[in-house]
């Protein structure tokens, strides 16, 4: 037996719910058309109709964040915002420890480049967070592989705060937060300010770094996509490896800061 379509395209809960609603609408329209044409309405398998009812009922449960926060789940608006905040608050501040150091493109790739790559959330992690929008760090931890090795406690708190801001803003709107909430928000704002401050004495263009990292993100393509987005960007839209984009970007940064580097093309060829 030959498998024609393995059905491996990842779908979010909202994708499945939209499909079920569309299928229900299609059935009603077909039945109405048959009735108008004087035809006998086609019988459909009862287990099929029951499955649609069951899964739609489950996916419309208030336990899922998109029920109370529809704006964040319209054409993946919340996911793009969340991805931007993770880059700004968690990934870019990694460069702080390298301020004042002159490094070649190869040295940057071996240190900061690898650290940036490690802290990029994977497609699966993004999808899990998008589906459930965990409301505390303890719920977030199982959704991120090797989180203890990849992120500090403070970084996990920043990711959690970004989730609330991006995916649960509507349900928390108008509610006055306690001291813990205020502290978390202040911490997130400090991280934003630190990312916006630039590279200081290193001369590294943080704005350029942010743009380069966003280009590496498999979810950055959503911002430029036209028309409705129906599912997560597939492998054809995301780079198979992040090492080459990191190398090209940091080679440019190193050249701008006067570091001793080789041309990007030669660097890429030598690596291959």
State the total domains in the chain.
2
213, 239 Cβ separation under 8 angstroms: no
Say yes or no: 182 and 251 in one domain: yes
Tell me the CA distances in angstroms from 112 to 8, 97, 116, 247, 261, one per residue in order: 33, 9, 6, 11, 16
Per residue in 214-256, pLDDT (tens digit) is: 454 444 443 344 333 333 333 333 333 333 333 444 444 444 4
Say yes or no: 53 and 100 in one domain: no
Say yes or no: 55 and 131 in one domain: no
Evaluate whether residue 97 is within a structural domain.
yes
Per residue in 79-115, pLDDT (tens digit) is: 989 999 999 999 989 888 777 777 777 887 788 888 8
Say yes or no: 23 and 130 in one domain: no
Say yes or no: 191 and 83 in one domain: yes
Say yes or no: 31 and 87 in one domain: no
Residue 95: the pLDDT is: 84
Per residue in 152-199, pLDDT (tens digit) is: 999 999 999 999 999 999 988 755 444 444 444 444 555 555 555 443
Say yes or no: 34 and 83 in one domain: no
Say yes or no: 99 and 162 in one domain: yes
Residue 46 sits in which domain range?
13-61
pTM, full prediction: 0.65
List helix spans (H) across 60-177.
65-68, 77-86, 105-108, 114-119, 123-132, 137-140, 147-150, 153-167, 169-172
Evaluate whether residue 32 is within a structural domain.
yes
Say yes or no: 241 and 108 in one domain: yes
Evaluate whether residue 1 is within a structural domain.
no
Distance of alpha carbon 268 from its chain centroid, rounded?
28
Say yes or no: 42 and 107 in one domain: no
Say yes or no: 214 and 172 in one domain: yes
Say yes or no: 32 and 167 in one domain: no
- Tokens 């989180």 belong to 147
């Amino acid at each position: 037996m030959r498998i024609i379509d393995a059905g491996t395209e990842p779908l979010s809960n909202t994708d499945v719910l939209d499909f079920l609603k569309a299928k229900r609408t299609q059935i009603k329209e077909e039945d109405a058309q048959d009735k108008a044409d004087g035809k006998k309405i086609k019988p459909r398998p009862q287990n099929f109709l029951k499955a649609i009812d069951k899964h739609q009922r489950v996916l419309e449960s208030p336990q899922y964040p998109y029920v109370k926060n529809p704006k964040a789940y319209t054409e993946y608006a919340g996911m793009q915002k969340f991805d931007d905040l993770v880059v700004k608050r968690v990934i870019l501040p990694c460069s702080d420890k390298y301020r004042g150091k002159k490094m070649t493109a190869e040295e940057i790739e071996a240190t900061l480049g690898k650290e940036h790559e490690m802290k990029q959330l994977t497609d699966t992690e993004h999808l899990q967070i998008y589906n459930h929008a965990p409301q505390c760090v303890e719920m977030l931890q199982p959704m991120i592989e090797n989180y203890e090795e990849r992120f500090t406690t403070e970084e996990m708190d920043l990711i959690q705060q970004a989730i609330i801001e991006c995916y649960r803003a509507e349900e928390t709107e108008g509610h006055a937060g306690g001291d813990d909430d205020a502290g978390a928000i202040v911490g997130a704002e400090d991280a934003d300010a630190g990312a916006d401050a630039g590279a200081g004495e290193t001369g590294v263009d943080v704005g350029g770094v942010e743009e380069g990292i966003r280009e590496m993100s498999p979810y950055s393509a959503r911002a430029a996509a036209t028309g409705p987005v129906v599912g997560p960007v597939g492998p054809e839209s995301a780079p198979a490896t992040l090492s080459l984009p990191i190398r090209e970007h940091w080679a440019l940064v190193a050249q701008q800061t006067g570091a001793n580097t080789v041309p990007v093309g030669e660097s890429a060829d030598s690596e291959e």
